[in-house]
Amino acid sequence: MASIRDDYQEFTALGAEVVAVGPDDLQAFRRYWSENALPFIGLPDPGHRVARLYKQQVRILKWGRLPLVCVLDRAGRIRYAHHGQSMADIPPNSTLLNIISEINRS
């Protein structure tokens, strides 16, 4: 499965912006983004404020935060949300790109 980085230009061509939110602190995010040359935004959320806001599930026995993928429209409304049931449960980029295309058409 392609990573967001692999298809980042397709996301931006549709007018989308990608933001990855994680539980690490600012220094850890800066280091990871630098080491991996990620083209999208990384938002540290060590206090879990964003996770709580979007109702991201946390399961200690499943390595912490489970994946949450949201697509918001330009007004900031959630138009699609996928709450992963495991760390590998992430929708393919093609699904997300199709959803963004549909939102753009509406």
User: How confident is the model over 2-40, as pLDDT tens digits?
Assistant: 888 999 999 999 999 999 998 889 999 899 999 999 999
Beta carbons of 69 and 81 less than 8 angstroms apart: yes
The b-or-e profile of 17-41 (16+ CB within 10 A means b, else e) is ebeebbbeeeeebeeeeeeeebeee
Q: Taking the domains of the chain in order of start, what are their residue ranges?
A: 8-105
Reported in sequence order, the residue ranges of the chain that DSSP labels E, i.e. its strands, are 19-22, 41-44, 58-59, 64-65, 68-72, 78-83
Whole-model pTM: value is 0.83
**DSSP state, 61?**
G
Residue 44: predicted pLDDT = 93
Q: What is the pLDDT of residues 59-101, one digit of tens each?
A: 665 567 778 899 999 898 999 999 888 888 899 999 999 999 9
Fold designation for 8-105 = Glutaredoxin (3.40.30)
